[in-house]
Amino acid sequence: MEAVEQFKKTLSQLTFNSRPIIDALTAAAGSNVEVADQILDAITARIYQVKPIEKLFTLYLLDSICKTVNNPYNILIGDEVFKLFSHVYLLSDESVRGKLSNLFITWKQTKTRDKLPLFPVNQLEKIQQFLDKARNNENERLVRIIDELVPTFESKLNNQYSDKLREKLEALKQLRNILKTSTLKKNELQSIESQLSTIKQQELGSPLPPNVSIKSPTKLPSSLPMAPSSLPSAPSSLPSAPSSLPSAPSLPNNPKLPVVPSLPSMPASLPSMPSSLPSIPHQSPVQESMEIDNYEPDFQNGNNYNGNNSNNGSSFDAPSFPTKANEIFDSLINVGIITFEQDFKGPRTFDINYPKVINRSTGLMETIKNSQVPRNDYEKLKFNELSKFKIDNFQGFINNSKLSIQCKKLLYDSKNLKCSNCGKRFNNNELDKKKLHLDWHFRINKKFKNGSVQSRNWYLDEDEWVKFKDENLLEFQISENPIVSQPIVEEEVPYVVIPSTETNMNNKCLICREIVKGTFNDDLGEWCWVNCIVPPGETSPRIVHANCYNETKKRHGDDLNGIVKREKLT
């Protein structure tokens, strides 16, 4: 009983995104499994009662407990996750919704220790449908933004005609049609939205001197923008985030923070905001210290999470406790208007690249078009980095350009799943692929230990080679269904019944020449060569391993006649 009370007391302090509190509570939940139901009641009650923003943190706590402790928590709460999730989603603003979506992604991918889905599949599907619906409304919202913009363009055109402006207006109208008529993917919507915000700032705001550099010793959360995140389109609808800022004055003198962080303060009104960017620095150390200790939902409960994992799939919500200013600042980073050098040691330098993307000769239509290209998280990151380049002079770029560390990391840590066997890297959301890759290493090491004999294959001829796809060489087939895990279907183990005429139980695979021993199958009441098949065009007892057969077939078309001919020669 006491444990529950204690838990509730600590839970009530979860008014900001605090990793230590969440960790502590998770630990408490873990050691008091016998009162799991009461703990969950406390959490659920809190989710329904508190302010929208705090709901998120409580949901994070639930996330942490379910991922870390697993059973019984994830099972007990299982049937309620949709209700909880949709409740929080409906009452939240855009930025929180983004985080919720990310949280949901981790739910889909996380497996419990027993390799089961974290939550019941039907609940996850319900959430998925719910999110899909919610996103459809996004189209409408973007159309509204365009509708706001169009009159401005028209009046500008009336005052001062320019082809460029005309072109942009046309592009906007086309985009409006696209939005009206077709369903777009989430990432496409996000990038369109960010483009629109850029245009909005450019067209409605006062002109900004290009490339103002603010030298600010701020250490911002180092999570890198993954994708242009959505700008809050209607700031008035924001939950009263600032008011819930806890007054924790004990932190500013924390010796761990040698640099007093400062953030440029910004008026909340979006359009005129950029012009006042370089103004009065705003001291916000409290917030800063909290950000360092944010809880971020990770795939396997992010025990090792640190801010340097620049592109953890779920980390594009940098300050998860936003003041408006901070949030806007973040959005600007996300759309690439403000960039910074990711240098972990020194003070950070921010640059304002006033809509560079648009100033480039490619034009607005091109930019909008580019945002239609689907990209995974890594590709987004790459796109962001590469579009910072200005390669007018190829030679000059090669000679003089100094690549930023983020840029270099595209070759390394940005794909931070590195195989310890061979050094191959995988994207953070390619856990499945990496698993297949490791399985493959394992299989091969085993095979080589057994000392199997193999030979080179012929090179393909021109026609075959031209049609060949290199995917067939790799250790994994490309499967596009990481979301809902299918229960593993027990595949039938192939076997060849040993002919009664055969006196020798030992046989060998015609491909790898490994000895295959006969085993007795109780169900069949027969002696069999397990995992073997009789290749087409052959008769028992001439057998091959099913795996050998499939691999050879995969690599070299259907022509397996080589096997037949070889025997004749030997």
Partner 1 sequence: MDALPGFRSGAEGPDESNNIKVSIELKEGNEWRFEVPFKLTMILKVTQGIGEIFGTELPTNSELELSGVKYSVYAPLPEGCTLEYYLKLSKENSNTSNEGSEISEYISEDNCMAQYMNLHFALESKRQEISDFNYLNPNETKTGPKILIIGGKYSGKTTLSKILSSYAFKMDRQPMLVNLNPRDGVFSIPGSLTSTPISDNFDLESIGGYGGTVTSGTTYHNPKQPIVKNYGFEDFNTNMDLYKHQIESLGAVTIERLKKDITIKNSGCIIDTPPLTMKNYDIIETIISEFQVDYIVVLGNEKLLADLKRKLNHKIVSQQLLIIKVPKSEGVVELEDTYIRKCQEESIKEYFNGNFRNPLSPFKTEITLDDFTIFKVIETSEFNSSLMFAPAGDSFEPDATDENDEKKKEEEYDKYFKKIEDFSTNNLENLIIAITHTPLSNKSLKDILNSDVQGYIHVSKFEESKNKLKVLLPVPGAFPKCNLISTNIGYTE
| Mode of pairing for the β-strands spanning 349-352 and 213-215 | antiparallel
Contact predicate 276/267, CB 8 Å:
yes
Residues 315-374 that bind partner 1 (CB under 8 A): 369-370, 372-374
Candidates 101-109, 172-180, 266-274, 464-472 — which segment interacts with partner 1 by CB under 8 A? 464-472
Contact predicate 548/508, CB 8 Å:
no
Residue type, 275: S
Q: Given the complex with partner 1, which of 455 and 479 has the nearer CB atom?
A: 455
Q: Is 462 in the site for partner 1 (CB under 8 A)?
A: yes
Q: Given the complex with partner 1, which of 185 and 555 has the nearer CB atom?
A: 555
| Mode of pairing for the β-strands spanning 262-264 and 532-533 | unpaired
Site track 533-552 with partner 1 (rule: CB under 8 A), x = hit: ---------------x--xx
Q: Is 452 in the site for partner 1 (CB under 8 A)?
A: yes
Q: In this structure, what are the phi and psi dihedrals at residue 273, rounded to the nearest 5 degrees?
A: -60, -50
Contact predicate 284/269, CB 8 Å:
no
Segment (H or E) for 121 = helix 121-159
Q: Given the complex with partner 1, which of 240 and 455 has the nearer CB atom?
A: 455
The residue from 460, 497, 530, 534 that contacts partner 1 (CB under 8 A) is: 460
Q: In this structure, what are the phi and psi dihedrals at residue 295, rounded to the nearest 5 degrees?
A: -90, 130
The residue from 118, 357, 512, 543 that contacts partner 1 (CB under 8 A) is: 512
Contact predicate 428/312, CB 8 Å:
yes
Candidates 30-38, 179-187, 206-214, 469-477 — which segment interacts with partner 1 by CB under 8 A? 469-477
The residue from 33, 90, 204, 474 that contacts partner 1 (CB under 8 A) is: 474
Min CB(297)–partner 1 separation in Å? 26
Q: Is 511 in the site for partner 1 (CB under 8 A)?
A: yes
Q: Residue 497: exposed, middle, or buried by beta-carbon count in 10 A (0-12, 13-18, 19+)?
A: middle
Min CB(492)–partner 1 separation in Å? 23
Q: Given the complex with partner 1, which of 181 and 395 has the nearer CB atom?
A: 395
Min CB(454)–partner 1 separation in Å? 4
Min CB(475)–partner 1 separation in Å? 6
Q: Is 478 in the site for partner 1 (CB under 8 A)?
A: no
Q: Is 114 in the site for partner 1 (CB under 8 A)?
A: no
Of 307, 306, 304, 313, whose CA–CA distance to 431 is shortest? 313
Residues 380-439 that bind partner 1 (CB under 8 A): 382-383, 386, 389, 391, 394-395, 397-399, 401-403, 405, 407-413, 415, 418-425
Let me know how long the chain is. Answer: 570
**How many chain residues touch partner 1 (CB under 8 A)?**
78
Taking residue 209's Cβ as centre, other Cβ atoms within 10 Å add up to 9
69-75-77-79 Cα dihedral, nearest 10 degrees: 150
Contact predicate 496/533, CB 8 Å:
yes
Taking residue 324's Cβ as centre, other Cβ atoms within 10 Å add up to 19
Q: Is 468 in the site for partner 1 (CB under 8 A)?
A: yes
Q: Is 200 in the site for partner 1 (CB under 8 A)?
A: no
Residues 42-81 that bind partner 1 (CB under 8 A): none
